[in-house]
Structure 1
Amino acid sequence: MSMYRLQQLLLNRDSASGDKPKDSRSLATLLFRHLLLLFIWLGLWRVAVLMEYAPHASIWFPPAGLSFAAFLVMGLRALPVLMVGSILSTFWVDNMYQMQQGWQQLLYSGLMFGFAHCMSYWLGAALLRRWIGQGVSEGLPRMITGFLVLGALTSLLAALTGTQILAASGMIGMQEAGSIWLPWWIGDLAGTLVLTPLFIGLLSWRYPDIQSWLGGLNFQASNSERSGFIGKLALCASLLSLIMLLASHFPYPEVSFAVFFLIIPQMWIVCTESAFRAAISLAVFSILTAVWVASLGLMDQALVYQFAICVIAASAYFGLAVPVLMARNQMLQRLAFRDSLTGIMSRQHFFDQAGEEIRRSHRYRHPVSLLLFDIDHFKQINDQFGHACGDEVLQKAASCIEQTLRESDLFGRFGGDEFMLLLPNIDFARAVETAERLRRLLGDIRIDKLELRLSGSFGAIQLQQDETLTQALERVDSKLLQAKRAGRNRVN
């Protein structure tokens, strides 16, 4: 059969099985997503005119946040859409300002502006993905630090290259380019830092694979009560509106700095609501600030408000990291204080706590006793039945014994199959009774793989006045050795 005939048969089979309609639906879905991204980007660009002072230059530029998020989530697949958006916005600027430039010049300017904008945010997104990927174990704090640093550098690169390209294309003068790069940077920075997390959250619903590098953040919609969140959002909006109204009525520039106090209610939202709701709150705060600045004619103080937005957003993101850091500290604390296999006190933590308890007992002249015991023939258990069986023996022994102890007793793993038990307010006679009870308890433990019953050898002492833990351990270890030499499965 010829190769051409084979290809025809395969094509006919695919058409009959319905693969072609499926491909058509996938293509239509992909086209719809890209068109939606384009319309949203253009809509955000048009909204940025609220604080615009030159073509493509605004103190508040939301498209920067969408571009950064799109490159983070979609990679280079977002490039064609954002390039088209940059070109269309250039033609839109010409129509708005009646510049009367030729379409070839506008196309060139749009391509150059798109190149500067897309190159900057794609580079920042690629570096951020790499930064996060190299420090997966560090999670959210590393992601936030990288996002803030790279977000600032990326928006600065976009501002510097964008102003030079617009000047080279004749849309602005060279002198004007030197004076607007800072406001341009602040506008892109505000859009990037404040709105990128919100757009990541929205895009993550469609691209759930990015959850693996979000460092523990969950941008899924929260099912908790919405009325409380709306109330907090209304409070923040009311306080912001009050500050802006006061700034417009009193001719003192210092009044505008009161906006920095809004970090308090914003942190309240961050610490009590989900990451997605925190992102919504910052977005609302940013948009409402831009609306008030434009409507009240506060452009002279616009940079103050934009700096405030960036500072509050950065603080809020580190606020998101607090619960993660607390959980990590608790985990590290547990690893330091607890034996990883049995869950009882680690050796060092036992020494620390026992030392304090012994000093307290000596001070008040209360009796205190110490037990040291191990599992008989434990090495043979490991050799004959495997280390997994040996681990199960240690875990069950520790668990059963721990359940029978008082809250004041200190129970820890000395190492290997040896355990130590400090008994406050217990004299030697009662310590021996406790050891005998625990010895019998070990014999009642059943391990499926073991044919023999467990047994243990115990050493017991009562600490002498002014005796240290180290000295006591030497004495009780000698007692344990005597019990083993006497035939094991006994208390000495």
Structure 2
Amino acid sequence: MRESPASGKFPLKTVPRKHLLDSREMLRSLVLGGAWLLLWRLAVLMEYAPHASIWFPPAGLSFAAFLIMGLRAVPIIMLCSLIATFWVDDLYRMQQSWEQLAYTGVLFGAAHSLSYYCGAALLKQLIRSSFSDALPKIILSFLILGTLASLLGALAGTQVLAGSGLISSQEASAIWLPWWIGDMAGTLVLTPLFIGLLSWRYPLIEGWLGGLDFKQSDQSWYGFLSKLLLSTSLLTLTMLLAANFRYSEVSFAMFFLIIPQMWIVYTESPFRAALSLAIFSTLTAVWVSALSLMDFALVYQFAICVIAASAYFGLAVPVLVAHNKQLRELALSDSLTKVASRQHFFEQAEQEVARAKRYQQPISLLVFDIDRFKQINDQFGHTAGDNALVLVAEAIGKGLRQSDLLGRFGGDEFLLLLPATSLEKACETAERLRQALHAVKVENTRHFLSGSFGVVQLEADEDFQHAFERADAYLLKAKKAGRDQIYSNRPQAQN
């Protein structure tokens, strides 16, 4: 028997990984269930009828749970729906039989779960089939599917209650709209926050969030709390005005509160933006209940949904800017060596040539490549070849002026434009760079590099393309002459 290092007497017992995973999954389910029931009770703040609330946070949690956890969330959501059905009966003294309540609870749970699972499954499929820079499309899909899922949930839920006899058909017709608005507000406003909270436990989903990152920000909380205080203060002021001046027009001032929310969206992390919307929505429900503003509740909930939708598209702006910056960098620089790309080099060269002609200054071009580069790839591998290209770019770049432009034409061929440089000075630069290449060694080998150069000074009436062709022809002569050579307008080669 193997002894435990800790005691020296007893064998060390380890908990199987499967049991640990099962325990964690059970804990997640318990937390999810507790949170769902807590949010269900909070929905009473904007309760329109015993079975309908104009603000229903559990809808957002259900949508997020099905989006992240998939079918694993079904049992706990079903159980919560069953508990909520019995709880409603106890709260409103309906005195239904437990058989009827169990039947209604199961049907309600099935209708709720099916509605939000279908919406979440379709959204997940769309996200996974989209490109990483398709965040606006993902947001639009979420808004549409979240709205449709909440509509389906409202229609199915009211029909279940009417079919089971808990409410009449007339009551079902009267409450389906506020039920839908409540579910839609909970889904559109709160789902991103719940996704952020759940994604901390499921880090693998970050790859299909469309570029959003719900990790904690390194920014100070002081700035965020100051903005949040401003937003909630303006909300409180708006609600107090609506309570004292009972005109429908006053309630529409709610839409102007999109301005401080967008300020938060553009300056804070996605998680903080989602947290701000959740607090804003919750405080709205609190004030509607406390100030008896249920007559205007639909206006407030529609306003919250509009503000949330605008905020989500606002979240896409920094991501799109980052993607555009990345695409611009890819277009301007070579992905391997980080020098100018071929297209960018030619575009910049045309401008430099035009400037040189305008100010009647000399301008020269070097075209060079690495000698026997194919043998490096064949003998040491393509990784070694790529490393050699990077080392060449670094070695050449160290000896250049700020005005010089280094680019990669393709393969192992490089271009170097030297503004305000005569042919004689360009040849001196080429010789210095040729010597610098001798000090570059292929990584993990004893092989040192060398290069062949073609050098030209542009004529007064010559365009860049023609100069490049001349320099490339001189490069070919240098290679035929034995490599590690410099050929230019001057007929002699330099060793």
> What TM-score, normalized to structure 2?
0.88
Deviation at 1:28, TM superposition (A): 7.2
Aligned to 1:481: 476
1:416 aligned residue (401, 411, 418) = 411
Deviation at 1:335, TM superposition (A): 1.6
- Higher mean C-alpha deviation, range 338-347 or range 315-324: 315-324
CA contact under 8 A between 1:446 and 1:453: conserved in structure 2?
Answer: yes
2:51 aligned residue (53, 56, 81) = 56
Deviation at 1:72, TM superposition (A): 2.5
Deviation at 1:230, TM superposition (A): 1.9
Aligned to 2:7: none
Aligned to 1:71: 66
CA contact under 8 A between 2:227 and 2:264: conserved in structure 1?
Answer: yes
What are the superposed Cα offsets for residues 449-488 of structure 1, whole Å, 9 maximum, x if unpaired? 6655422222222112232111211222222233333333
Structure whose residues are more often helix by fraction: 1
Q: C-alpha separation between the residues in 2 aligned to 1:289 and 1:194?
A: 12
Aligned to 1:382: 377
Question: Pairwise CA RMSD of aligned residues?
Answer: 2.8
Aligned to 1:129: 124
SS in 2 for 1:389: helix
Q: C-alpha separation between the residues in 2 aligned to 1:332 and 1:439?
A: 33
- State whether structure 2 residue 465 is matched by structure 1 residue 470: yes
Aligned to 1:104: 99
- State whether structure 2 residue 205 is matched by structure 1 residue 199: no
CA contact under 8 A between 1:139 and 1:214: conserved in structure 2?
Answer: no
Q: C-alpha separation between the residues in 2 aligned to 1:133 and 1:247?
A: 44
What are the superposed Cα offsets for residues 292-337 of structure 1, whole Å, 9 maximum, x if unpaired? 1122222222122111211222222233333332222222222211
Structure 1 pair 29–396 and aligned structure 2 pair: CA distance change class (3 A): closer
1:444 aligned residue (431, 439, 444) = 439
Aligned to 2:490: none
Q: C-alpha separation between the residues in 2 aligned to 1:441 and 1:29?
A: 59
Q: C-alpha separation between the residues in 1 aligned to 2:74 and 2:151?
A: 20
Q: C-alpha separation between the residues in 2 aligned to 1:395 and 1:224?
A: 35
- State whether structure 2 residue 355 is matched by structure 1 residue 360: yes
Aligned to 2:238: 243
Which amino acid letter does the alignment assign opposite residue 397 of structure 2? E
Which amino acid letter does the alignment assign opposite residue 381 of structure 1? I
CA contact under 8 A between 1:385 and 1:449: conserved in structure 2?
Answer: no
Which amino acid letter does the alignment assign opposite residue 149 of structure 2? T
CA contact under 8 A between 2:54 and 2:298: conserved in structure 1?
Answer: yes
CA contact under 8 A between 1:55 and 1:172: conserved in structure 2?
Answer: no
Structure 1 pair 236–357 and aligned structure 2 pair: CA distance change class (3 A): same
Describe how 1:225-304 pairs up with structure 2 within 5 A: 225-304=220-299
What are the superposed Cα offsets for residues 384-432 of structure 1, whole Å, 9 maximum, x if unpaired? 3333333232221111111211111111112222211111111222112
SS in 2 for 1:444: coil
2:145 aligned residue (138, 147, 150) = 150
Q: C-alpha separation between the residues in 2 aligned to 1:206 and 1:481?
A: 60
Q: C-alpha separation between the residues in 2 aligned to 1:86 and 1:339?
A: 57
Q: C-alpha separation between the residues in 1 aligned to 2:15 and 2:398?
A: 65
Q: C-alpha separation between the residues in 2 aligned to 1:413 and 1:100?
A: 81
Q: C-alpha separation between the residues in 1 aligned to 2:241 and 2:204?
A: 46
CA contact under 8 A between 1:60 and 1:306: conserved in structure 2?
Answer: yes
Q: For structure 1, which runs of at least 5 residues remain unmatched after alignment?
A: 1-15
SS in 1 for 2:486: coil
Structure 1 pair 187–413 and aligned structure 2 pair: CA distance change class (3 A): same
- State whether structure 2 residue 429 is matched by structure 1 residue 434: yes
CA contact under 8 A between 1:45 and 1:62: conserved in structure 2?
Answer: yes
- State whether structure 2 residue 485 is matched by structure 1 residue 490: yes
1:46 aligned residue (41, 59, 65) = 41
Which amino acid letter does the alignment assign opposite residue 234 of structure 2? L
SS in 2 for 1:408: coil
Aligned to 1:5: none
Deviation at 1:30, TM superposition (A): 5.8
Which amino acid letter does the alignment assign opposite residue 40 of structure 2? W
Q: Percent identity?
A: 62
What are the superposed Cα offsets for residues 226-274 of structure 1, whole Å, 9 maximum, x if unpaired? 2222222111110101111112222432222222222222222223333
SS in 2 for 1:370: strand
Q: C-alpha separation between the residues in 1 aligned to 2:54 and 2:168?
A: 19
Paired residues in the alignment total: 477
Aligned to 1:89: 84
Structure 1 pair 439–307 and aligned structure 2 pair: CA distance change class (3 A): same
Deviation at 1:154, TM superposition (A): 1.0
Q: C-alpha separation between the residues in 1 aligned to 2:63 and 2:46?
A: 20
Q: C-alpha separation between the residues in 2 aligned to 1:372 and 1:236?
A: 60
SS in 2 for 1:123: helix
Which amino acid letter does the alignment assign opposite residue 408 of structure 1? S
Deviation at 1:351, TM superposition (A): 0.8
Aligned to 1:3: none
Which amino acid letter does the alignment assign opposite residue 233 of structure 1? L
Structure 1 pair 360–40 and aligned structure 2 pair: CA distance change class (3 A): same
Structure 1 pair 399–20 and aligned structure 2 pair: CA distance change class (3 A): closer
Q: C-alpha separation between the residues in 1 aligned to 2:203 and 2:179?
A: 33
CA contact under 8 A between 1:75 and 1:122: conserved in structure 2?
Answer: yes
Aligned to 2:3: none
Q: C-alpha separation between the residues in 2 aligned to 1:413 and 1:76?
A: 52
Q: C-alpha separation between the residues in 2 aligned to 1:380 and 1:296?
A: 82
SS in 2 for 1:419: strand
CA contact under 8 A between 1:55 and 1:171: conserved in structure 2?
Answer: no
SS in 2 for 1:454: coil
CA contact under 8 A between 1:368 and 1:427: conserved in structure 2?
Answer: yes
